[in-house]
Structure 1
Amino acid sequence: MVLGCESLGQVTPAPGSPTRIQLERLLASVRSVPARSRPGGYERGCGSGQGCVFGPAWTDDHDGPGGHDGCDSRNTVLARQLARVSFRPGNGCVVVSGSLNDPYTGQRIAFDRADAKAVQIDHVYPLAAAWDLGASGWPLPLRVRFANDVDYNLLAVDGKANEDKGDRTPGDWLPPARANHCFYAGKYLMAANRYGLPVTTADRDALGRVARACP
């Protein structure tokens, strides 16, 4: 069940959120499918005997935004989103502390590398959903780029919210902070557009309701 979706009135969106018209244009440009298919074969792990279908987690070895810059994608996202960032001494990549204005809960969260699970990196368009909805047919380099795209598909977020989301899509999950629904919908649709991924009928309905509540 979509959190808060049925009772959406107009909201005051988070800074940087798209407008209703912008969201409606994005929504009109993605194709729809009736439901999420289940082709099988999704295996994220890269250990011995595992499929590693999106490449090693947070690899810098890809040709997308932030690729081949010497910093892994997780630390790149943290460095971009956190305020008051501190890096490991002598290392300009590894983020050890900072403060996150969480785009899912709307709360301010302290990040400390010793408790890294408090702030996690979310794939806005989930990898498992992408696999089911078309990425299973992509070449591996494109899947690796998608999984590490710091511009279109990665966000630093509250760890508990990320774990609650799992691989659910907008038809089943929206951020706890209603004021951030417009922002999330925009990020989801931009990732879908960028990579030619569809939305399900349930996703389209949920995103349409979000758009109508945006200024």
Structure 2
Amino acid sequence: MSVTWTQFRRARRRSRQAWLVLAATGLALLGGAAWFFVAGQFGAAESPATGPSEAPVLAGGWMKAVVAVRAVPAGSAAGVLDTLAVKGRAPKDTYDRSAFGQAWLDVDRNGCDTRNDILRRDLAAVEFVRGSRCQVAGGNFQEPYTGRMMAFRRGAETSAAVQIDHVVALGDAWQKGAQQLTAGQREHLANDPLNLIAVDGPANQDKSASDAATWLPPNKAFRCHYVARQISVKAAYRLWVTVAEKEAMKRILGSCPRQQTIVPRPGR
């Protein structure tokens, strides 16, 4: 009888250990997913105060930095927001997409157009069109605006499901300082990897030319990075913000006070 009881206790102990292992594995997977979205793919939502957050701006070996009007100031996103001019919107009736140059130029002169550069940077398991080293045929990624896993497949009826969004919309930029930029500077703004991310097509259409006061990503976990990236772009190209826009940005950054600006770095 004593042997049977001992065996029972050992079996129960092993069962508890197995459940603990399963629980720990589940937590690790959840933590890994959170890291990928918050720290792996798009940089830390709250970076240490010692430096700017990492972000997928440049990819080492094949992407080159685009020259902005000035370098992105490193430091607190909220602090840099306070340095941006606050003004009303300029008239929009003179806006024309062509003022920012031909769409998807090869501004960094790496031999590939900007759209394919961003797809290659943001997607995982990238496949290329046969015979091309630039044209992305497919891949998958954790889409930032919705937080869903998505697949991209090149095709007349499928390509639009994944679009390349200007984080600071060109229409918004036009009304907030871009009219004063040179034609070359506007081309750079439209093709700067800092201002571009691959996103869900319908979400991008919903955003349109909105600023942070009128549209934010449905995925709340991405909002701190999104706002910090807008601030970084506006600082780099000397664009201004409206009163309502600044208030919306400050409200978002209030939930992540250590959020840093997004500074392009070699190899990132």
| Shorter-chain TM-score range | 0.7 to 0.9
- 2:146 maps to 105
Deviations 1:121-155 (A, max 9, x none): 000011011111111122111110110001x1011
Alignment check: 8 A CA contact 1:75 1:95 kept: yes
Fraction of identical pairs, as percent: 39
Question: What residue ranges of structure 1 are gaps of 5+ in the alignment?
Answer: 1-11, 45-51
Q: C-alpha root-mean-square deviation of aligned residues, in Å?
A: 1.7
2:109 is paired with a residue whose SS is: coil
Bigger Rg, which one: 2
1:98 is paired with a residue whose SS is: strand
1: CA distance between counterparts of 2:246 and 2:129?
A: 43
2:89 is paired with a residue whose SS is: coil
Q: How does 1:34-49 map to 2 (within 5 A)?
A: 35-38=88-91, 40-44=93-97
- 1:14 maps to 38
Q: 1:127 aligns with which of 170, 183, 186?
A: 170
Q: 1:204 aligns with which of 246, 254, 259?
A: 246
Compared with structure 1, are the counterparts of its residues 199 and 130 closer, same or farther at alpha carbon in structure 2 (3 Å cutoff)? Answer: same
Residue identity in the other structure for 1:25? G
Question: What residue ranges of structure 2 are gaps of 5+ in the alignment?
Answer: 1-34, 50-75, 258-268
Alignment check: 8 A CA contact 2:167 2:197 kept: yes
Task: Report the TM-score, using the length of structure 2 for normalisation.
Answer: 0.68
* Residue 28 of structure 1 pairs with residue 82 of structure 2: yes
Compared with structure 1, are the counterparts of its residues 104 and 17 closer, same or farther at alpha carbon in structure 2 (3 Å cutoff)? Answer: farther
Compared with structure 1, are the counterparts of its residues 186 and 17 closer, same or farther at alpha carbon in structure 2 (3 Å cutoff)? Answer: farther
Alignment check: 8 A CA contact 1:37 1:132 kept: yes
2: CA distance between counterparts of 1:37 and 1:186?
A: 23
Q: Shift of the alpha carbon at 1:39?
A: 5.1
2: CA distance between counterparts of 1:19 and 1:32?
A: 25
Higher strand share: 1
- 1:57 maps to 103
Q: Shift of the alpha carbon at 1:19?
A: 2.8
